[in-house]
A and B are shown apart, each in its own frame.
Chain A
Amino acid sequence: MLKINYKEKINVNLLIYLAIIIVSSAILIYLDMNKFQYNYAISIIEKSLVYAVVALSMNIVTGFTGLFSLGQAGFMALGAYTTAILTIPVASRANVYYMNGILPVLENAVLPIPIALIIGGIVAAIFAALIGIPVLRLKSDYLAIATLGFSEIIRAVIASPMMDKITNGSYGLKSIPGFNSSLECFIYSLICIVIMILIINSSTGRDFKAIREDEIAARAVGIDLFKTKELSFVVSSFFTGVGGGLLAMFMRSIDSKTFQITLTYDILLIVVLGGIGSITGSIIGAFFVTAGKELLRFFDEPFAVAGVDIPLFRPGFRMVIFSILLMIVVLFFRKGLLGGNELTIRHLKKFRRKKNLDVAGGAV
């Protein structure tokens, strides 16, 4: 009677996920083969994937550990710059650093992309560990403002003349090798996302959730509050850093202005819309927001019906729509579009059953 069927449950879900991955890969391979035709779609997909990684990493610390961190842009900048510096082809470097030259040590330092991405993540993680020591002992709202401030400090340092030979100061970096195919982007993102899901569902992830639910109770069952918070913050920042590296690859050229506070807010938008504390929410949210922003582009263009200009349509309109959407979700759907739940096959089944019942009820 006390039998629990973990195995079966896990296997069914695993199969479904595998199926989704295979189908997605097949679609991406098809798109890649017809690159010129689907250029636009590919770029939306790649951007969404990168944002999904960053949004999920933000969710680890904010949604699952209950710590409100707003340092995303800063950690992304660290990862992006590290990855860029380590991957720009040697031949292009003189051209990139044409104003101030490059630090001799870095002149020939080129690493394979996956390793550069990991180092980018590690750099972000190290900074997170350092900043976490003073800040994680404080109340959560100080964490928000301190991480926000930290992110601005990083930006200022990156853009400063002292860093010219490393970050190329205010000129930014270009000629960053991009993704060879959308499949490549998919694989990197997928690895990150899978590892993050594994963490969230592990015993470590359960400790995170315990802290989110009640810090005092968590301590009372033997969870080391500071160590666990620091762990969550560092892990999250690692993946934010890797996400930053992926963003650099997607954009091919970056400068310090890429990593303004607005970037953090964009990611927060995804996390909140998708549902704080929902893995699938963050992933779907990333696609929804990124694709939404692109598809709503026409809102920013002047729009005329029968020769009469509709006055609402001009630059900035779609961001207003997104801001209003964000406010609606915050005020009326506090748990996000997915309500803090995970979208799984079981839910879909339940939903269908309910619908069928409604239909049956209607027939009587």
Chain B
Amino acid sequence: MKILTGNDLKTGAVTWWNGNGWSLFVDDAADAGEDAEAIIAREEAARRVNAPYAIDAERTEKGVRPAHIKDRIRGLGPTVRPDLTLKPEDPQAVREVI
């Protein structure tokens, strides 16, 4: 699947296109398919996202998994600070992105 990610303009937080707007959680990411570039252009122009780009990902039984480790780390948070990730209570979360 093709998913879209970027950062919130004001806060810089990592966000993911969920089909209607931008979510903080990669598991909410929707398949943008062939509309990826059009969505990026529209959303960036409206300042609802900053520096967006499209990436490959797959939907697994545990959620949406970006193809590249860089985006998996973006989706979770720094692997060396589990307390600052989006899943601080899940000790397995860091291992699963690597």
A and B pair up: no
Mark A residues whose CB is within 8 Å of B.
Answer: none
Chain B residues engaging chain A, CB cutoff 8 angstroms: none
